[in-house]
Amino acid sequence: MGLLLKVFMPLLGVALAFYFYSAPKKFSEEMLRGKRVVVTGASAGIGEQMAYHLARMEAHLLLTARTEAKLQKVVERCLELGAASASYVSGSMEDTTFAESVVKKAENSWGGLDMLILNHLGDSYFNYFDGDVKQVRKLLEINFLSFVAMTVSALPMLKESEGNIVVVSSVAGKTGSPFIVPYSATKFALDGFFSSLRQEFTIEKVNVSITLCILGYINTENTVRAVSHAMKDTPAPKEECALEIIKSGALRQRELYYPPWAVRRLVLLRSIIPEFVDSLIISSYKVENVRR
């Protein structure tokens, strides 16, 4: 046993060093110039910021969200920032037919697709789980099944372009978190589907990358309004987060962790000392501020 530990501990140290500090490939904005990109959930928050970054990189953009008035303003701003083209389609991802129609519009407009960024999410509460199964089912439709539907519709074009699928998820899809039970369930589903699909791509030699973005607490307006009263941590900037998501997709990374140290630490330690990670997560909340 002593010999085993002497061998195992140095190997673990090397593995951890590689996991945390391996040098990423170099990103260039040229990678996105002229690329055809669909961004969902683009009327506010991280999606809006991704649209602006991509516009500066001179990409072609098709944006979607529920609120048409907000989308119009984002498209106008994207054109001002230098987007090669920018258009939108508004609707609810609760209807998978609408999700598929977004991809169809991209095909009709461009004849192909280079990057699909799946970023939208449904409204959910921040509180103790209330047993509402209908709410869980609704969130699965928006936060999971529409992601699947869009991916299936986009795959023929992405295979042809050898493009990228970027899935915006959460640390709540890697580790359980209180007060967001239905939301967390949908994010775990994303991990299972897209991680398994990536393995099938490897087997079948399909050159389409899948990047799963594991995000922590980000300072989007909706998130801060919903949870700031119960969070001890300071939220990370949405502008920088949006840029890191784009970079990770363009570089065909397997996963993005943002903020990097805080999120990677939880994900890594969860498989080793899950009870300790549970205590870390619970201690990050002002539990007394969450009322049933």
Half-sphere exposure (Cβ direction) of 148: Cα atoms closer than 13 Å: 18
Interacting residues of 35 by C-beta distance below 8 A, sequence separation 6+: 59, 60, 114, 115
Q: What is the distance between the alpha carbons of residues 145 and 111, in angstroms, rounded to a whole number?
A: 25
Q: How far apart are the C-alpha atoms of 172 and 188, rounded to whole Å?
A: 7
Q: How open is the CA angle 35-112-47, to the nearest 5 degrees?
A: 50
**What residues act catalytically?**
183
Q: Which candidate, 80, 107, 105, places its Cα nearest to that of 90?
A: 105
Q: Provide the token pair at 259.
A: 């903020």
Cα 34 vs. chain centroid, distance in angstroms?
Answer: 23
Side-chain-facing half-sphere of 234: CA atoms under 13 Å: 1
For residues 37 and 286, the answer to whether their CB atoms sit within 8 Å is no
| Of 80, 49, 52, residue with least CA distance to 240 | 49
Query: How far is it, in rounded angstroms, from Cα 82 to Cα 59?
Result: 8
